[in-house]
Structure 1
């Protein structure tokens, strides 16, 4: 028997590698003695960059950057010298995890630090940037990044805008003449795990603003700022930032960077699995275990467990899904993806308690999986 353990992170609790390790521990405790292959995955969300850097054997290079509120912090990026590829985790510089809850303020939090990481990578000689944009603290349309890369933003009087994104409602003109010329020969691949457009009811401000501390009035101001940015960019660059699927990812970073740079936006999990040659890791597998904090119908829109399940199903390998939360009612489409889908919580828990219990509950889930696999294997053997 061979089991491949390929989970995503459990948000706010355990990184993907920690989830895989807990499941492995439980499966071994069940008495399972077969082969186990731990292969934690990412779909563009926070933590994807560090995983990619590990799989690609990247060196970790330090860089001093601004956090979302402008304070200097130590960050880093992955560097693959052989291919001149930099792996950049936006959240390392502009992530929500860098702030205390009482500091969440998407009206003034910006992506300047991520832009500084990108410049550091260009200084290193990067010809390709792999940009993982999950976990941002920002809804700035990527203007912090673009400012660092040389764009200038002006109001109607010709004054330079100072604070992003809230000052964007006064945006009147953009000057791209000083955009870093190295970007013309640099490929930027953005890994996304959402399909939201920049503006509107399902856009960056409305959907992601409240997650980052925006109240009702703040969401309205952020929406107005992004709409104004969109209009001015169309006037000066000819691109409609709102036309881009996934453009609203990371508070509009995807749309903003794509408007001025050589960008390809990709489905994060599909790109990740191909990059690490996950198909080869599935060779000879009898079961695949995947999961993340929540598995529901939205998972089918391209989240990590769905990508893992689809690749396994192509090889007719049964897939077991585990999550902190699963639908209470049967979802036929999820059933088609997962042979077995269950919550690691034996009973409903307050979210804070469920997060605290994630590791031990994953170990228990691993024991349950190990026993079930051995039971099924024994049943098949006895029927032969």
Structure 2
């Protein structure tokens, strides 16, 4: 049996590459006679660009840029396609992982450092920039990135807003005369791991603000900031970014780059699988094993395991999904894509202990899957 192992990361626990290796170890230890190919995947979330670099043998570039609070930090980005394409992981310069828990505050955090990386990529002569936006610490509508590229955000007196996104309620005009024109001649692709829109109940501030340290009061302020940004973009450029699918990605950065830089907002997993040649791996396998921290109805909105399962099922290949959490009642729609869904936990655990035991449980579950498959052989 040829098994293709294609998990996403188990968020806050085990990265995708490690998950794939653990599943492989479990299968090899089992009684099943099989060959395995590890093909970890990502859907635009934190770690996507590293996996792209691994698959396409990219070259890393190290630089000094500003972190979300404006302090200097080392950050890398990648070059692929003979140096013509830059691959930027937003979290490397603007991510939550760069801040201590008590430093998280999206009302003052901004994405300027990611914009600095884009300038450095342009200096390298790239013709295309791919940005994975997962793991950002920001809800600034991309104003930090755009500021780094030369865009000015002005109040009614024509003065620059210096504290973004906090000062966005005072925004009156967006001046793009100083924009680095090279970015307009560069294809810009944003990999989106969520399909949320910019504003409202399911928007950037409400859904993702608390994860990034926003208090309930600050969530309301952030939504007001993004609302004003949206209004001024309509006034200045005639574009309504509030209704764009994927616009809420990375605290609305996707919407801001769409409006001012003509960025393409794409489903992260579909783009990742196409870019890295996943269909070629599917041609050689009899079974796909995928997984991530939780597989449920939301997975079908475009998450990594769904992208994998959709491609596998279109070829008639069975799919097993592993997760830290699966629904008590598996719906018919989930079963259309996942032949079997298996939670990795083997006894009741609180979340902290579940994280601690994740590596053991992933490997053990794969071992049991191998033994079960062996019975049928």
Q: Secondary structure at the match of 1:347?
A: coil
Equivalent residue, structure 2, for 1:60: 60
Task: Please state how far the C-alpha of 1:330 moved relative to its aligned partner.
Answer: 2.4
Give yes or no for contact 2:42–2:269 (8 Å, CA) kept in 1. Answer: yes
Equivalent residue, structure 2, for 1:196: 196
Give yes or no for contact 2:149–2:180 (8 Å, CA) kept in 1. Answer: yes
Task: Please state how far the C-alpha of 1:348 moved relative to its aligned partner.
Answer: 2.7
Alignment of 1:124-273 (within 5 A): 124-273=124-273
CA distance in 2, matches of 1:181, 1:221: 32
Aligned-residue Cα RMSD (Å) equals 1.0
CA distance in 2, matches of 1:358, 1:22: 10
Give yes or no for contact 1:77–1:89 (8 Å, CA) kept in 2. Answer: yes
Q: Secondary structure at the match of 2:167?
A: helix
Equivalent residue, structure 1, for 2:327: 327
CA distance in 2, matches of 1:107, 1:9: 28
CA distance in 2, matches of 1:322, 1:265: 28
Task: Please state how far the C-alpha of 1:243 moved relative to its aligned partner.
Answer: 2.2
Q: Secondary structure at the match of 2:251?
A: helix
CA distance in 1, matches of 2:261, 2:33: 51
Matched, 1:373 2:362: no
Task: Extract structure 1 runs of 4+ deviating beyond 3 A.
Answer: none
> Per-residue CA shift, 1:73-128, capped at 9, x if unaligned?
10011112526000000011111111111111010011011111111101111110
> Per-residue CA shift, 1:241-281, capped at 9, x if unaligned?
11211101000010001111131111111111111111110
Task: Please state how far the C-alpha of 1:49 moved relative to its aligned partner.
Answer: 0.7
CA distance in 2, matches of 1:147, 1:284: 47
Equivalent residue, structure 2, for 1:12: 12
Question: Which ranges of structure 2 fall in alignment gaps of 5 or more residues?
Answer: none
Task: Please state how far the C-alpha of 1:214 moved relative to its aligned partner.
Answer: 0.9
Matched, 1:109 2:109: yes
CA distance in 2, matches of 1:81, 1:43: 20
Equivalent residue, structure 2, for 1:33: 33
CA distance in 2, matches of 1:282, 1:168: 47
CA distance in 1, matches of 2:236, 2:112: 22
CA distance in 1, matches of 2:172, 2:269: 38
Normalising by structure 2, report the TM-score.
Answer: 0.98
